[in-house]
Structure 1
């Protein structure tokens, strides 16, 4: 493929099915015009020879996507993938990443630890984690933003920076390595050519919300760049949830020659976030938004509290509300990456990239504040070859990678002296985490309509950390205990799939995928009681999954995707809260099953009208798991086989009906109504307590004409529904007198679980283009 044709092919590959159908005619016309421009330029060069003819470039030259190299996330063959473009969220508040990714089937989002943090779960992958993203790999512009310990956070970026999001679903360790249990998510920043100047905007809303943002972008003959910046602040609907955060997000590409390209990525985010305490179910029902909780001594009913040591060492404890203790997060994240591509010949490209990722955290969020510096390095190098094997089109890929994380984690006792009340140390976890390995892939076209894909990844992972635990008994000297952990893991992940274009507009796929994830270093040193101790025998979790799916595109009117999946897990890592004053504990469930159905639909019955819907059903349950509960000297086991895995929402759906005037003086005037449904779900391994389900409605009106100014007004949670926005999984407990587990009544009063979702909020925004 010539350089002039390559950009068009890549642009088409990155579009969703609906957009492909809708813009097929325009795309073909643009391709012909580019071909004519190339021919005219060659004729002109022949008529007027020059010593060094200048290359012909058009506004559609695409040097952001990875040339001839096999893209990681923007064009995945043989797997269930959904792409969400900014048409779905550019005229909305988009206050967090949740406002984007929840539009994809199979994706559930919850509020994380803090007002801007979001927990993202793909097929239940992150359901038991109360913050960030685990068990999926996260990328930006194909640069990894998941550190080698498996954690990615979604509060470091602003949705206004993005032009599209790709969601790859299903076990994917052959392609993405460690922790790709649920798949991968790739955020694509807006391209410089799409911005072509300056855009600046301001969104404002209830509870003091304001987001001032701007983007600069441009594309030239050999270079393209986009630079985004924003500052966001809000007071929060829940007591003590004020925050301020700033973000810089940049992407630049430069064509060194016709055969060499450089791409640079930079992200910086820093934020101050006040945190409220997670509540028990009874506290949530009494006072969901933590009103009147400034002081424990005069707190209103339903206020959550923590228990801190009066002297920060031992002895007497004092109850404090979140406001009194000034619970907070002050985190800083810096990511810098560079990618180099070189075309070895017309069919083979070599790609090498490196990423530096620094996470600096200061989190007095509980009775044991946490501070840490976690700096990581990621290096990959790979070859992609496109050619023919036995007369069949073939794409081959082989690559190697290395990840390193320097883990410096420190925990302390909290004193009553507010955010800076740091007392004696409780534990340090110091050391490193390394992952290294290789992967290979072949995509072979058996016929024009039938394609087979096979891949494999092999990885060596090493956790080499050391815990130092401090204890301060009354009337005795302090004690120090050390516990080294050197764990080595070897994982191999194969995959295979078939893709068949049955008829025009209908494509079927069947896939066998595998995934694995080693334990997190911190989980090795927390006991079932929620205190520092030895838990170093945790095993890596592994899964084998089958997907069968279909995509349908009927012209520019209807597109749909339907996927059924069945995944078998071994040693699934399950985490749960032991209480508000304790640490989360992780254990292995020997066997479990995840299965479900995912449906996505987009229908345009007439010009300007659009109906979008997604539906997901998850049946996740244990098949072999005996849990031991202990209370004092009494211990008992409970068979959890057949129980639903807590934290996983069985059924959730989104539907949006909208209209945008397609022509005339009011072109761009429109709006939509959106409905979100979530069923109730279990909060403990015994399935004794469930978070209630809910249905929310949103309303949006906007005016986005072709000119320089656009406006929107949006009402989120239109009917002001009080709902559970986030619920941490709770540990069951044992009645020492009867030897039986406590029932729902005790769990209802167990704190450390629930945050209320956002009440009805009005937002408005304006954006100008220059």
Structure 2
């Protein structure tokens, strides 16, 4: 087969598994790879494209991932350097040719010394990605990219999330990450900017998560145990292997956490905010009809208490208490969710065809301060993509065209909350969402320096609701529906200026509908959907560059400017505290800089620094005659700095992580008394890399979070009433664990 992507122009590299630009450095002999450099049998890349491996003597850069026998030598052989292939742009492309800001985190970082208790751990070191860890699994972690998603009061909004090829983002734009199996996570890819031309609704940014590749041995059995403060206990069993053309992985896990938010009951101090999670995650792949088929299945059972947000006075007391109202109302969440996805990818008439389908069933009981929500959800979808590539005089031209169709059916009921139990029925409606889309994208080499990537997608989404509450005069009312659509183009230009320098620019669009829960919340209390709430649309321009500094460092710099119309803004009313409603602002703008520097002067030392800024302002926005034009958009940190220092590996490793985040405003009027104090956090983890013990592979580790034991706000609730804007983070906490593996 001919070699594709023949030019090698590496403007970035991997240190400790986090990618800047597009080159992976490894002193470990490479594992068998498929046509694009992914693991054999992986569905992460199609077989139609191959990537050459190159060994660069003059540009050799030490890696920090070395086997024990390698680091004992005085000198190192030249390190194989391989262009990193990502699939987050819907077609495989080397990162150093992508005209968009893309980051990758690999398995060796995701699993090394982590407690696997939060999504935040998996996203450390990503510029432009802000995670507000509520330490409250009843609400989930708030993840935003360049401010998209910062409005979320629970779950994830504004960004697209894909887990093992199955959309975690529903047709209406809301996402959940509870089912993500952090203990078997193998790869994270992030598109740090709008991706509506590729993913459609709610794609202000994109995150894709992949389960790690199965072991190449016939059977590998791994047992992992983590114990920690606040009653943390995590037990995981992972079995994987390769049997000829078949690969499999089965992960079983149980996670328990008592929480740290306290309240006084029966004269004693008690804790409110516990979590119990049981999960099964499985993948299976095999060759079929000249291609590869992959099955993914996941089951989750989750129960978690919601300790709620606090006022500034309650935060200053410093006891990290739970909200007394939440405790009295028994706020919590109980979820049972099952999902499965099937993907086939293979050749078709000289091209490559990808076909995928998925189904999700979710049952939720969710007492919140003002109601008990009972939701039964069914989701299904299909996707088809046809790709082709042909050689040109200055490079390879490829294009891809595809379609998506998805449906969402919600049976939603709301009852009065009587101390955590169901009272009178207040809402009973059936909500349907149907989404359909067609898209096309292409990569066109202009010459040996310039590449153009362009795309266009059209989405049409139909919302409908049937109000089934009995009315005074006869049958239930049909609440009607709404149809929202958008055409989303994108254009990107990349220049490979030298072997060590690449630059890019792009224009991309964002389109975001209100979710069903946002549409269903009427300030006037009526059923059906809010007819006044409009979708949020915007356009982003970006300039960026990636490069190498000698043989020991790499850097990346990106500047973005976003203009949004009808930005969705949350608010609450005094009559129903805790219930979030939404309205549209007129126009708002965001601009910022993302800078990353990675430095590895020695195979045993690697450092990474990231700077993320975001100046987000309302330009045209008023409510009831009060103008907020010129004010900062609440919920978004204007700047954030993160630094990670890794020592090792070899027989051991250690990692130090520091973070400094600016004050976050919580109100549209920018009241400084409702802003969070700036925060500075330090975490430490260390451990041993698979010590051989009588044929068993033992990896003990420990970690300390919030080493300096500072009091800080971990998450905010924008425009809340009664001043309840703040959720506290825990103090200093320790965890320790070990994994024990055997394979044959």
Q: Normalising TM by the smaller chain, what interval?
A: 0.7 to 0.9
> Which residue in 2 is equivalent to 1:517?
512
Task: Check the 8 A contact 2:13/2:21 in 1, yes or no.
Answer: no
1:512 is displaced (CA, Å) by 0.6
User: Closer, same or farther in 2 for the Cα pair 1:326/1:357, shift >3 Å?
Assistant: same
- Residues in 1 aligned to 2:348 and 2:13: alpha-carbon distance in whole angstroms: 23
Please state whether the residue corresponding to 2:122 is helix, strand or coil.
helix
Compared with structure 1, are the counterparts of its residues 529 and 173 closer, same or farther at alpha carbon in structure 2 (3 Å cutoff)? same
Could you report, residue by residue, the CA deviation over 1:91-146 in whole angstroms, capped at 9, with x for unpaired residues? Answer: 12231111111321001111348347211111111112122211111011332121
Equivalence map 1:553-632=2 (5 Å): 553-554=548-549, 557-578=552-573, 581-628=577-624
Structure-to-structure mapping, 1:435-446, within 5 angstroms: 435-446=435-446
- Structure 2 residue 111 is matched with structure 1 residue 109: no
Q: Which runs of 4+ in 1 moved over 4 A?
A: 2-6, 12-22, 24-27, 73-76, 389-392, 468-471, 477-483, 528-534
Distance in 1, matches of 2:371 and 2:416, equals: 5
Change (3 A) 1:210 1:3: farther
Q: Contact 1:616/1:651 (CA < 8 Å) preserved in 2?
A: yes
Superposed CA offset, 1:562-589 (max 9, x none): 1110011111111134367341011011
Aligned twin of 2:165: 142
Distance 1:720 1:5, change over 3 A: same
For residues 436-475 of structure 1, the aligned pairs below 5 Å read: 436-467=436-467
Q: How big is the shift at 1:364?
A: 1.1
Identify which of 59, 78, 98 aligns with 2:99: 78
User: Match of 1:670?
Assistant: 653
C-alpha separation between the residues in 2 aligned to 1:766 and 1:569? 47
**CA offsets per residue over residues 708-767 of structure 1, 9 Å max, x none?**
111111110001111111110015xxxxxxxxxxxxxxx7x523x322112110110101
Map of 1:89 onto structure 2: 110
Q: SS in structure 1 opposite 2:586? A: strand
User: Which of 208, 215, 238 pairs up with 1:193?
Assistant: 215
Distance 1:188 1:24, change over 3 A: same
Q: Map of 1:4-19 to 2, 5 A cutoff?
A: 17=19
CA contact 1:113–1:131 (8 Å) conserved in 2:
no
Q: Larger deviation: 96-105 or 584-593?
A: 96-105
Check the 8 A contact 2:88/2:191 in 1, yes or no. no
Shift of 1:371: 0.8
Structure 2 SS opposite 1:524: helix
1:710 to 691, 695, 699: 699
Q: Which moved more, 1:648-657 or 1:443-452?
A: 443-452
Contact preservation (8 Å) 1:118, 1:153: no
After superposition, where does 1:376-395 map in structure 2 within 5 Å? 376-388=379-391, 392-395=395-398
Summarize the alignment of residues 110-125 of structure 1 with structure 2, pairs less than 5 Å apart: 110-112=132-134, 114-115=136-137, 117-125=140-148
1:425–1:470 Cα contact (<8 Å) kept? no
**2:371 touches 2:416 (CA, 8 Å); kept in 1?**
yes
Tell me the CA shift for residue 527 of structure 1: 3.6
The alpha-carbon deviation at position 542 of structure 1 amounts to 0.6
Q: Map of 1:82-231 to 2, 5 A cutoff?
A: 82-90=103-111, 91-112=113-134, 114-115=136-137, 117-180=140-203, 182-193=204-215, 197-231=220-254
Task: Give the Å deviation of 1:222.
Answer: 1.3
Q: How many angstroms does 1:387 deviate by?
A: 0.7
Alignment match, 1:314: none
Distance 1:264 1:553, change over 3 A: farther
The 3 A distance-change label for structure 1 pair 478 and 512 is same
Report the counterpart of residue 650 of structure 1 in structure 2: 638
Match of 2:316 in 1: 285
Residue 374 of structure 1 aligns to a residue in which SS?
strand
Q: Tell me the C-alpha RMSD between the 2 structures.
A: 3.0
Higher mean alpha-carbon deviation, 478-487 vs 135-144, is at 478-487
- Alignment check: 8 A CA contact 1:724 1:757 kept: yes
Q: In the alignment, which residue of structure 1 is the partner of 2:533?
A: 538
Given that 1:111 and 1:755 are in contact with CA atoms closer than 8 Å, whether structure 2 keeps it comes out as no
Residues 503-552 of structure 1: per-residue CA shift (max 9 Å, x gap): 11211110110110112123223244788787322111111101111112
Shift of residue 16 of structure 1? 5.8
Q: Indicate if the aligned counterparts of 1:112 and 1:131 stay in contact, CA closer than 8 A.
A: no
Gaps of 5+ in 1: 7-11, 36-55, 291-302, 307-320, 472-476, 629-636, 662-666, 732-746
2: distance between equivalents of 1:769 and 1:26?
20
Q: In 1, Cα distance between the equivalents of 2:288 and 2:662?
A: 53
Question: Which segments of 5 or more consecutive residues in structure 2 lack a partner in the other structure?
Answer: 7-11, 50-86, 262-270
Structure 1, 73-82 or 355-364: larger mean CA deviation: 73-82
Of 340, 344, 366, which aligns to 1:340? 344
Out of 327-336 and 462-471, give the one that drifted further. Answer: 462-471
- Residues 19, 518 of structure 1: CA spacing in aligned structure 2 closer, same or farther, 3 A cutoff? closer
Contact 1:226 1:252 in 2 (8 A): yes
Q: Please, which of 24, 46, 59 is the counterpart of residue 67 of structure 1?
A: 46
More helix by share: 1
Match runs of 1:251-266 below 5 Å = 251-257=283-289, 259-266=290-297
Quick check: 1:486 aligned with 2:504? no
Query: Could you tell me how far apart the structure 1 residues matched to 2:525 and 2:103 are?
Result: 38
SS in 1 for 2:313: helix
CA contact (8 A) 1:118 1:155 kept: no
Q: Secondary structure at the match of 1:192?
A: coil
Offset at residue 648 of structure 1 (A): 0.7
Q: Deviations over 1:462-489 (max 9, x none)?
A: 1111345689xxxxx9999857131111
Q: What SS does the aligned partner of 2:315 have? A: helix
Q: Give SS of 2:667's match.
A: coil
**Equivalent residue for 2:266?**
none
Deviations 1:277-319 (A, max 9, x none): 32222222225522xxxxxxxxxxxx6333xxxxxxxxxxxxx
State the Cα deviation string for residues 602-652 of structure 1 (Å, max 9, x = none): 211122001112110000111111112xxxxxxxx1111110111111111
> What do residues 313-354 of structure 1 show as CA deviations (whole Å, max 9, x unaligned)?
xxxxxxxx51x4332110122120001123014x41111100
Match of 1:372 in 2: 375
- State whether structure 2 residue 321 is matched by structure 1 residue 272: no
**Contact preservation (8 Å) 2:46, 2:346:** no
Matched, 1:506 2:501: yes
Give the secondary structure class of the aligned counterpart of 1:398: strand
* Equivalent residue pairs, number: 673
TM-score between the two structures when normalised by the length of structure 2: 0.85
Matches within 5 A, 1:631-646: 637-646=625-634
Name 1:250's counterpart in structure 2. 282
Q: What residue is the counterpart of 2:67 in the other structure?
A: none
Q: Report if the CA contact (8 A) 2:308-2:323 is conserved.
A: yes
Range with greater deviation from structure 2 (446-455 or 354-363): 446-455
Q: Deviations over 1:375-422 (max 9, x none)?
A: 111111110001135664111100011010002111110123xx4x21
Task: Give runs of aligned pairs for residues 302-381 of structure 1, distance below 5 A.
Answer: 304-306=323-325, 322=327, 324-345=328-349, 347-381=350-384
| Contact in 1 for aligned 2:305/2:333 (Cα 8 Å) | yes
**8 A Cα contact 2:371 2:414, kept in partner:** yes
Rounded Cα–Cα distance in structure 2 between residues aligned with 1:564 and 1:349: 35
Aligned counterpart, 1:698: 683
1: CA distance, partners of 2:440 / 2:464: 28
Asked which structure has the greater RCO (Cα within 8 Å, sep 6+), the reply is 2
Q: Secondary structure of 1:87's partner?
A: helix
> What is residue 663 of structure 2 aligned with on the other side?
680
8 Å Cα contact 1:111/1:131 also seen in 2 = no
Offset at residue 591 of structure 1 (A): 0.6
